[in-house]
């Protein structure tokens, strides 16, 4: 029997420590690692998502008459736009030029994680069609209560995207590059789909890494030692420090998830002899490998491509995973077999005048991105006689 959504109670919590992990995970499911209670709580416990860092948790819970958790929506109050990968800096500038505050704003997203996945998770007996209007009103009331300019749902799955647009939210499109497993038997089977020159280029990159005396090791999370985690964090932090920036994540975060969700992790370490010189961290979903974090202690030509892309592709093929999501940006991925794909976000804007202007901008942007994806696909390295 379908649970009547109009009887549900909506409440906001400032920390996942106040939410039963088993109840949250029962709704989040097993296919997407970043919405797991362990992951989001680790961000909070280690100080990565707090009011001080500009990521203040405001998670929305939906409970039935028996106080059973039957729905949840990750939600954060933001005082900036960093770590989101859906860029609205120009919107914030426009507000400022008009003497208005764009921040705070509310976002439903996984912090620092531009990977599409579940955002609204509800029990199977809840009627989503009657739930959504109430949910949207609850979030809008929260936004009004804290003086937020807007509510943004970043990288949602298609069903929620369409439902929110039907509720009047604005739709924004973006582009990422992802690898798809067309039932390859091995890495060479994948390479056989490349045009000859592109195939030679990729092989040359791998040979360059080997000629530098680099060997690579893929470690399941349970097998990674404390020392190896420390090595990886130094590599990761270095990618920010060489640019004069502070890392989003701290060493404690990686130590926490290594304890609480090691089965979701795969770490590639690059060695020269006995010395580790680089690392790439991946997260495992049900059918997807997510390439997330990388760093090195020295510049080795082509090592980034090997550790972050080729090792991940090889892992997907060996373990039968269907897709590799390599994160945001990176046109250089196209010639290595990563196809351009659409990403999505939805946006509720409180002020009518700004909503109208943003809607016009998004229409023009969508046309540009659509043309870009069509043109970029023409640069994929695959043989023209293949239909992939």
3-class DSSP assignment, residue 343: strand
Domain boundaries, the chain: 5-175+342-376, 182-321
Same fold, 5-175+342-376 and 182-321: yes
> What is the block-wise mean pLDDT of the chain (388 residues), using blocks of 10 residues?
71 97 97 98 98 97 96 98 96 97 98 97 92 96 98 97 97 97 98 97 98 97 97 96 91 98 98 96 98 96 98 98 93 96 98 97 98 97 83
As a whole number of angstroms, the distance between CA 381 and CA 92 comes to 39
As a whole number of angstroms, the distance between CA 146 and CA 9 comes to 20
Of 143, 85, 153, 24, the closest CA to residue 292 belongs to: 85
Architecture of 182-321 per CATH? Answer: 3-Layer(aba) Sandwich (3.40)
- Residue 2 structure tokens: 């379908």
Give me the sheet containing 121-122, strands edge to edge.
9-13, 59-63, 69-73, 121-122
What pTM was estimated for this model as a whole?
0.96
Q: What pLDDT sits at residue 387? A: 66
Q: What pLDDT sits at residue 385? A: 85
Q: What pLDDT sits at residue 329? A: 83
Q: What pLDDT sits at residue 103? A: 98
Phi, psi dihedral angles at 348 (to 5 degrees): -100, 125
Inter-axis angle of helices 37-45 and 251-260, nearest 10? 150
Contact between 292 and 281 (Cβ < 8 Å): yes
First and final C-alpha spacing in the chain:
43
Helices of type H across 29-157: 37-45, 89-97, 128-146
Contact between 59 and 75 (Cβ < 8 Å): yes
**Which contiguous run of DSSP H or E holds residue 236?**
helix 226-241
**Which contiguous run of DSSP H or E holds residue 160?**
helix 158-166
Residue 275 neighbours by CB under 8 Å, 6+ apart: none
Phi, psi dihedral angles at 156 (to 5 degrees): -80, 165
Q: What pLDDT sits at residue 1? A: 44
- Residue 56 structure tokens: 């203040």
Q: Please state which CATH number belongs to domain 5-175+342-376.
A: 3.40.630.30
Question: Which 8-state DSSP code applies to residue 35?
Answer: G
């Amino acid at each position: 029997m379908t649970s009547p959504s109009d009887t549900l109670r909506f409440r906001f919590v400032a920390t996942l420590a106040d939410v039963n992990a088993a109840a949250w995970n029962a709704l989040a499911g097993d296919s997407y690692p970043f919405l797991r209670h362990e992951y989001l709580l680790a961000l909070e416990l280690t100080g990565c998502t707090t009011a001080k860092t500009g990521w203040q948790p405001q998670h929305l819970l939906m409970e039935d008459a028996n106080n059973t958790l039957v729905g949840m929506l990750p939600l954060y109050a933001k005082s900036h736009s960093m770590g989101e990968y859906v860029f609205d800096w120009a919107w914030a500038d426009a507000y400022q030029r008009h003497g208005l505050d764009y921040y705070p704003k509310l976002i439903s997203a996984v912090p620092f994680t531009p990977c599409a996945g579940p955002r609204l998770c509800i029990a199977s007996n809840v009627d989503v069609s009657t739930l959504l209007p109430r949910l949207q009103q609850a979030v809008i009331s929260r936004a009004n209560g804290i003086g937020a300019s807007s509510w943004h749902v970043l990288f949602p799955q298609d069903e929620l995207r369409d439902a929110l647009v039907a509720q009047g939210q604005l739709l924004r499109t973006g582009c990422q590059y992802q690898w798809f497993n067309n039932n390859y038997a091995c890495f060479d089977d994948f390479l056989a789909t490349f045009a000859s020159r592109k195939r030679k280029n990729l092989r040359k990159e791998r040979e360059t890494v080997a000629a530098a005396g680099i060997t690579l090791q893929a470690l399941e999370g349970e097998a990674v030692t404390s020392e190896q985690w420390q090595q990886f964090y130094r590599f990761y932090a270095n990618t920010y420090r060489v640019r004069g920036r502070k890392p989003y994540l701290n060493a404690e975060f990686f130590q926490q998830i290594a304890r609480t969700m090691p089965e979701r992790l795969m770490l590639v370490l690059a060695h020269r002899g006995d010395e580790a010189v680089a690392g790439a961290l991946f997260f495992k979903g049900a059918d997807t490998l997510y390439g997330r974090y990388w760093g090195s202690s020295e510049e080795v030509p082509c090592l980034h491509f090997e550790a972050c892309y080729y090792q991940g592709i090889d892992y997907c093929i060996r373990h039968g995973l269907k897709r590799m999501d390599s994160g945001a940006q990176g046109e250089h991925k196209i010639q290595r077999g990563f196809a351009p794909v659409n990403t999505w976000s939805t946006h509720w804007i409180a002020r009518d005048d700004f909503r109208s202007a943003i809607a016009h901008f998004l229409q023009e942007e969508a046309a540009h991105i659509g043309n870009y994806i069509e043109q970029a696909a023409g640069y994929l390295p695959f043989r023209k006689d293949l239909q992939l």
